[in-house]
Structure 1
């Protein structure tokens, strides 16, 4: 896909190190609002709408995770500031993994939030059925599992967040959404994670039922030197449910990486 057809927003000092944000399936770059606000003081922030999401047009390619990683790589090329710090949430975290594996010279550091590298057969069957239900019934079928994406306390104190998510999901193209879930169901990067050589931070909520802490633990064990942080009282919508803690951990990690004399070696 021509990267010019992808909607992006930029903020923060041009001379600062660049942080690229990749959202979850069904969402868009506006769901990084807390992170954009917190990080633009010290970093150049680039948030991307994946194809068929937000204000980006639907891709002509298959929408595979491999294709999406290539799209983001082209965005980074156009920025002219590689390698960059990459932050991916959920499905965006899978795209970020593929980006770090296939385009290592593009990625200075990798932050993976509420994501996974592989799934059980039972989980894959559920994901396929979820995508099939949306294909057959439309986006209303996607709402059944939406409350499970939030911690119980969040759902009680932030009904506005559930309403915001509901409106966004209902506005999604069901074909793009279902295709993404088929991609998630088939995703398995577990045997390639050792190829990720940049600094990595893994963030996960202790109440995440979609990609629980043990999914991040697999990533932490396999990516050399990776750091894993479990955030209490949060579920799958981690960047929105616990933005202060999320931003604190992310900013601290970026600061440590920035203090290193040079970016990771290019391959």
Structure 2
């Protein structure tokens, strides 16, 4: 995949992104520690019918970091800046993990720019135990203590597909900028309820998808979010964990294609 860099019109920051295909725009935002290349299976499957714009999150890949201490709304503002600078107009937007939080924030903050929204392995209102654990990890990462093996063990099993995906993810994690990683992880750790109360405002087609083996982005979280959105649907991919877009790519791609074909309220008026 060819990576392009873009100077944003509002913040003047540089963003790295991949731009493939033609048609309705689909913006993809990866999770903490990843990069735009993590969407490779989705780009390959969907670029024949859609224009796919896969972004490097701030502080990841070729994208400049946001200032230290930036919270989830600053990442959402960054995403809006990208959409406006590229003059994409209303977009389909899908995010994974931290990217799902950004996609959710974008959809409630800029409904006029959102055709459809999909959250892959998204988090929603963690319980107290989970919240304390992820916030403690954020403090450790901020102090420079970065443990990459623990998340890899949590995200992957031992099937051939998972072993291959684990090697890819390990390579991306090894390339992270510690400061950008710390800022994004802190926003992720504290952002699970930032836009939770606004889910009922989402009127566009809404998909929440996760793996049944993901202990932190659980099927119950996906079901709760989908129940609140006006056109919400929750899907659980059986036998998979946190990196479903890589380990269950064909199944995920099929669900994304179905979501992309759902009629929007604007289309219903035509």
TM > 0.5 fold call: yes
For residues 116 and 3 of structure 1, the distance between their equivalents in structure 2, rounded to whole angstroms, comes to: 30
Q: What is the number of equivalent residue pairs in this alignment? A: 258
For residues 136 and 79 of structure 1, the distance between their equivalents in structure 2, rounded to whole angstroms, comes to: 36
Q: TM-score, normalising length from structure 1?
A: 0.89
2:138 maps to 131
- Given the alignment of the two structures, is residue 225 of structure 1 paired with residue 234 of structure 2, yes or no? no
Give CA deviations for 1:58-84 in whole Å, capped at 9, x if unaligned: 224743211111111111112323211
Deviates more, 1:159-168 or 1:189-198: 159-168
Q: CA deviation at 1:137?
A: 4.5
1:38 maps to 45
RMSD: 2.0
Q: CA deviation at 1:233?
A: 1.4
- Given the alignment of the two structures, is residue 159 of structure 1 paired with residue 168 of structure 2, yes or no? no
1:91 maps to 98
For residues 78 and 55 of structure 1, the distance between their equivalents in structure 2, rounded to whole angstroms, comes to: 17
Say if 1:243 and 1:252 are closer, same or farther in 2 by CA, change over 3 A.
same
Matches within 5 A, 1:49-128: 49-60=56-67, 62-128=69-135
For residues 33 and 152 of structure 2, the distance between their equivalents in structure 1, rounded to whole angstroms, comes to: 11
Going by fraction, where is helix more abundant, 1 or 2? 1
Q: Runs of at least 4 residues of structure 1 off by over 4 A?
A: none
For residues 112 and 100 of structure 1, the distance between their equivalents in structure 2, rounded to whole angstroms, comes to: 11
Question: What are structure 2's unaligned runs of at least 5 residues?
Answer: 1-9
Contact 2:16 2:55 in 1 (8 A): yes
Contact 1:116 1:219 in 2 (8 A): no
Contact 1:49 1:55 in 2 (8 A): yes
2:249 maps to 243
Deviates more, 1:168-177 or 1:108-117: 168-177
Q: CA deviation at 1:113?
A: 0.5
Say if 1:198 and 1:142 are closer, same or farther in 2 by CA, change over 3 A.
same
Give CA deviations for 1:24-77 in whole Å, capped at 9, x if unaligned: 111010000000011110001111111100111222474321111111111111
Q: CA deviation at 1:93?
A: 0.2
Q: CA deviation at 1:8?
A: 1.3
Contact 2:138 2:189 in 1 (8 A): no
Question: What are structure 1's unaligned runs of at least 5 residues?
Answer: none
